[in-house]
Amino acid sequence: MDAEQKSADSPSRIDGLENEDGGGTTEKEETVASRVTELEKALETKTEEYKGLYDKYLRLAAEFDNYKRVVQREQREQIKFGNEQLLKELLPTLDNMERAIKAARENEQASLEAVVQGVELTLKQLVSTLAKFGVQSIETTGQVFDPSAHQAVSHVSSDSIPRDHIIEEFQKGYRLHDRVLRAAMVSVSSGPAANDEPHQPTGSS
C-alpha cells in the first residue's frame, strides 16, 4: 500500500516541479523582453537626438557658407571702394583747382599774385583734407637725419648745421599715421669743412 501511495503521489510532485520550472522560465523571458524594449526605446531616443543634431549641423554649415560668401564679397568691395571717402573729400579741392585755372584764363588782367594766392588756398585745403585721414608731412629742416623717414641725396659741409642734421629739403615726405608713405628727399650736413691747417684751441700760444 505504501508503494501504491508513493506511485499516486509521484505524478503530482512531477507536475509541481514542472510548474515551478515553467514559472521561472516565463519570468526570465519577461525580464529579457522588458530589457530589450527599454533598449529599443533608448536607441530610438538616441536616433532622434542624432537626427536633430545632424540637422542642426547641416543648418550651421549652410549658415557658415553663406557668412563666408558675404565676408568675401565685403572684402572685395572694401578693396574696390576703400578709398571712396577720401576721394569724395578731395573732389572740392579738384573743383577749386579747375575754377582757379578757368578764372586765370578768362581774366587776362589777373595778377600773378592773385593766381599764387588761389593755388596756396587750394594747397591748404588739400593738406587739410589729407590730415583728416591721418596723412602728415615729415619734419626735415634742422632735424636729425632719420634713415627710416629721410632719404639723403647729398652730404654738404656746414659750419652752422651740426653733423648728421638736415640742411635742405628737396621733396616732402609723408606719413600715414605711424607708417611712412614716402621718405623725404634731403641734403645732410657732414659737419664743418676740413681746414688745411690744424685747429688751434683758443688761448694757445
pLDDT per residue over 96-133, tens digit each? 888 888 877 777 666 777 788 888 889 999 999 999 99
Q: Please indicate, yes or no, whether residues 111 and 121 belong to a single structural domain of this protein.
A: yes
pLDDT of amino acid 198: 43
Q: Please indicate, yes or no, whether residues 141 and 126 belong to a single structural domain of this protein.
A: no
- 120 phi and psi angles, rounded to 5 deg: -65, -40
pLDDT of amino acid 110: 67
* Domains held by the chain: number: 3
pLDDT of amino acid 200: 41
Burial 46-58 (b: 16+ CB within 10 A, else e): eeeeeeeeeeeee
Any domain includes 142: yes
pLDDT of amino acid 2: 52
Within 10 angstroms of residue 172's Cβ, the number of other Cβ atoms is 12
Any domain includes 53: yes
Any domain includes 157: yes
Any domain includes 205: no
Q: Please indicate, yes or no, whether residues 66 and 124 belong to a single structural domain of this protein.
A: no
pLDDT of amino acid 119: 86
User: What percent helix, strand, coil does the chain show, rounded to 5?
Assistant: 60, 15, 25
Q: Which domain holds residue 177?
A: 134-193
**Which three three-digit cell numbers place residue 160?**
652752422
Q: Please indicate, yes or no, whether residues 28 and 60 belong to a single structural domain of this protein.
A: yes
Residue numbers of the chain with a pLDDT score lower than 50: 1, 3, 5-6, 8, 10, 14, 17-20, 22-23, 196-205
Q: Please indicate, yes or no, whether residues 109 and 91 belong to a single structural domain of this protein.
A: yes
Any domain includes 32: yes
Any domain includes 79: no
